[in-house]
C-alpha cells in the first residue's frame, strides 16, 4: 500500500525502495518480535491512512490521473477514519492524520473542505467507541481507567540508559539512508514533480509525530519504535529517486541479514520436530479437562495453545510495575479472582523469587521507586502464600512449575452439600 501510494505521488522509481524498506523494517525481528502487539495493528491502520492521505493530497498524480475535488475529500476522510481507528489502539496512531492536517493547513493549494473531511473522518472511530461504551454501561469505568493511565505516565521514570534506545534506532534505521547518500557514483536523475515538496512535508511531519509518541511513552520499549517504519519507508523512497536503480537493495541487505540472524532461534524452533508448543501447554493438554480454568504469569500463549479459559482478569502480572500502588491493587484483584473462580491449574516460574529480585534491580520502574518495589515484593509474597495454602506443585515443565488446586479447595463453600462433601473426602 505504501509503495503504490508513493509511486502514484512522486514517481514509479519510489515503488521498489519503499516496498523493500517497509518489508525489512516492519518485519525487523528485534522490534517486531511478538506474534501480536498493539503496534502491529496500529501500523496496519496507519499504512492505510497514509496511503489514503497521499491519494487525497493532490488533484493530479504522476501518471496524469485527475482526482475530482469530491474524490480528494473522500480520501482525506478515509485517512482520518483509519488514523482514528489506529488512535483507539494507541493515541499516537492518529499521527498520520495530524501530518495530513499540517500539509493541508500550510500548503498553498490546501482547501478547508479537505481539512474538515480529515477531522470528520478522525472523529468516527472515537464516537463509535463512546457509543459502545455508553450502551455497555461502562462509562463509570472511564474515570478509573484514565486514573491508571495518568499514574502509569507519572510513575514511569526515564533513566539515562533510555536515551540510548532512540540513538540505536536512529543508527539502524539511518544506515540505508547513509549508504544511499554516500553512493552517488553513477546516479541517475529522476524527473522532478511538483508534489515532492508536499510529500516531504507530509512524511517528515508524520515521522516527527511518531517519534514524539515513542518518547512520550517514556518506557521506550524497542517495539514502540515499530510505527516509525511507515513514514521512514516513504522518506527512503524519496531519497532513492535520484539514485541508481537497485542501490536500495545494497543499502537494505545488512539490515535484512541482522533481522534474519536475530530470528535464528525461531527458525530452529520451526524446523524442530515435535509440537512446537510450550512445555507447560503440553502438560496441561495431557492432564487438564476442557472446562478447567488456569492462571499464571505470563499465560497468553498457554491459553492460545490449550484452549483453556483464564481463571483471572489478568493473563500476565506485569501491571504490578505500572505505579506505586499497582502491585497492591492488581495483586488484590488477582487473589480475589483466585478465591472466587477457584481455577484448577496455576502456572508460574520455578525461579520466581530470584526472578523477582532480578526485576527489582533491572527494571527502572522498581529500582527507581522504593515504595513500588516494596509493594511489588509484598504482593508476590501474598500470591506465593495463597499458592502454598491452596495449591500443590505437581510437576515441572521447562522453566515453569505446574500447580493443581487441592481437592478440598475445588468446591466453593456456597455450593457444599452433603453429597459433594462426601465425594470430596473420598
Q: Determine the Cα–Cα distance for residues 351 and 398; give it in Å rounded to an integer.
A: 11
Position 242 pLDDT exceeds 60: yes
Classified as helix, coil or strand, 271 is helix
Q: Do 184 and 307 have their domain in common?
A: no
Please give the C-alpha separations between residue 33 and each of 47, 84, 399, in angstroms, as whole numbers. 19, 25, 21
With cut-offs at 50, 70 and 90, classify the pLDDT of residue 222. confident
Question: What pLDDT does residue 357 have?
Answer: 92
Question: What is the band of 161 on the pLDDT scale with cuts at 50, 70, 90?
Answer: confident
Structural domain includes residue 273: no
d(CA 320, CA 313): 14
**Domain of residue 208, residue span:** 2-265
| 237 part of a folded domain | yes
The torsion angles phi and psi of 27, rounded to 5 degrees, stand at -115, 15
Same structural domain, 257 and 291: no
Region 123-137: mean pLDDT is 94
**Cα Rg, the chain, nearest whole Å:** 26
185 pLDDT tier (thresholds 50, 70, 90): low
Q: Are residues 250 and 283 in the same domain?
A: no
Per the DSSP assignment, residues forming a β-bridge with 346 are 295, 403
Distance CA 343, CA 387 (A): 11
Tell me how far the alpha carbon of residue 136 is from its chain's centroid: 26
Instruction: Specify if 307 maps to a domain.
Output: yes
User: Is residue 345 left, alpha or beta, with left meaning phi > 0 and alpha meaning psi from -120 to 50?
Assistant: beta
Q: Which of 265, 291, 322 is the last residue of a domain?
A: 265
Name the strand (E) or helix (H) holding 146: helix 139-154
Q: Domain check: are 357 and 396 in the same one?
A: yes
Q: CATH number, domain at 344? A: 3.40.50
Question: 22-47 pLDDT, tens per residue?
Answer: 999 999 988 887 666 889 999 999 99
198 shares a domain with 288: no
Q: How many domains does the chain have?
A: 2
Min mean pLDDT across 48-52, 191-195, 344-348, 382-386 is at: 191-195
C-alpha span between 34 and 29 (Å, rounded): 9
**Is the same domain home to 224 and 373?**
no
Write out pLDDT tens, residues 339-397: 999 999 999 999 989 999 999 998 888 998 999 999 999 999 999 999 999 999 999 99
Whole-model pTM: value is 0.82
Amino acid at each position: 500500500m505504501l509503495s503504490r501510494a508513493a509511486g502514484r505521488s512522486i514517481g514509479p522509481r519510489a515503488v521498489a525502495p519503499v516496498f523493500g524498506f517497509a518489508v525489512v523494517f516492519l518485519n525487523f525481528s528485534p522490534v517486531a518480535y511478538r506474534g501480536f502487539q498493539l503496534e502491529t495493528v496500529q501500523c496496519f491502520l496507519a499504512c492505510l491512512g497514509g496511503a489514503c492521505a497521499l491519494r487525497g493530497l493532490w488533484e493530479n498524480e504522476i501518471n496524469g490521473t485527475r482526482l475530482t475535488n469530491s474524490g480528494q475529500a473522500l480520501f482525506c476522510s478515509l485517512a482520518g477514519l483509519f488514523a482514528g481507528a489506529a488512535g483507539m489502539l494507541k493515541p499516537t496512531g492518529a499521527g498520520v492524520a495530524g501530518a495530513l492536517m499540517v500539509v493541508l493547513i500550510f500548503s498553498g493549494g490546501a482547501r478547508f473542505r479537505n481539512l474538515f473531511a480529515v477531522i470528520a473522518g478522525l472523529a468516527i472511530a472515537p464516537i463509535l467507541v463512546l457509543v459502545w461504551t455508553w450502551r455497555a454501561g461502562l462509562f463509570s469505568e472511564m474515570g478509573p481507567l484514565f486514573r491508571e493511565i495518568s499514574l502509569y505516565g507519572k510513575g514511569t521514570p526515564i533513566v539515562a540508559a533510555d536515551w540510548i534506545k532512540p540513538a540505536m534506532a536512529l543508527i539502524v534505521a539511518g544506515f540505508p539512508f547513509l549508504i544511499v547518500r554516500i553512493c552517488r557514483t553513477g546516479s541517475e536523475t529522476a524527473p522532478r514533480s511538483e508534489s515532492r515538496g508536499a510529500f516531504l512535508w507530509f512524511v517528515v511531519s508524520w515521522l516527527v509525530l511518531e517519534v514524539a509518541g515513542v518518547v512520550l511513552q517514556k518506557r521506550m520499549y524497542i517495539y514502540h519504535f515499530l510505527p516509525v517504519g511507515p513514514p521512514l519507508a516513504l522518506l527512503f523512497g524519496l531519497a532513492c529517486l535520484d539514485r541508481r536503480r537497485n542501490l536500495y537493495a545494497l543499502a537494505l541487505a545488512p539490515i535484512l541479514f541482522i533481522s534474519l540472524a536475530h530470528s535464528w532461534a525461531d527458525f530452529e524452533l520451526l524446523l524442530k520436530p515435535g509440537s512446537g508448543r510450550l512445555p507447560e501447554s503440553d502438560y496441561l493438554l495431557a492432564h487438564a479437562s476442557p472446562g478447567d480454568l488456569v492462571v499464571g504469569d505470563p499465560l497468553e500463549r498457554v491459553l492460545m495453545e490449550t484452549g483453556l479459559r483464564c481463571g483471572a482478569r489478568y493473563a500476565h502480572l506485569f501491571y504490578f510495575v505500572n505505579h506505586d500502588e499497582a502491585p497492591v491493587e492488581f495483586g488484590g484483584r488477582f487473589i480475589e479472582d483466585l478465591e472466587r473462580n477457584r481455577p484448577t491449574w496455576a502456572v508460574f516460574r520455578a525461579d520466581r523469587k530470584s526472578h523477582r529480585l532480578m526485576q527489582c534491580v533491572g527494571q527502572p520502574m522498581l529500582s527507581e521507586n522504593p515504595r513500588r518495589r516494596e509493594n511489588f515484593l509484598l504482593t508476590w509474597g501474598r500470591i506465593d502464600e495463597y499458592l502454598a495454602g491452596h495449591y500443590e506443585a505437581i510437576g515441572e515443565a521447562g522453566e515453569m512449575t505446574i500447580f493443581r488446586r487441592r481437592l478440598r479447595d475445588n468446591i466453593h463453600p456456597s455450593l457444599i452439600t452433603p453429597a459433594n462433601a462426601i465425594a470430596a473426602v473420598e
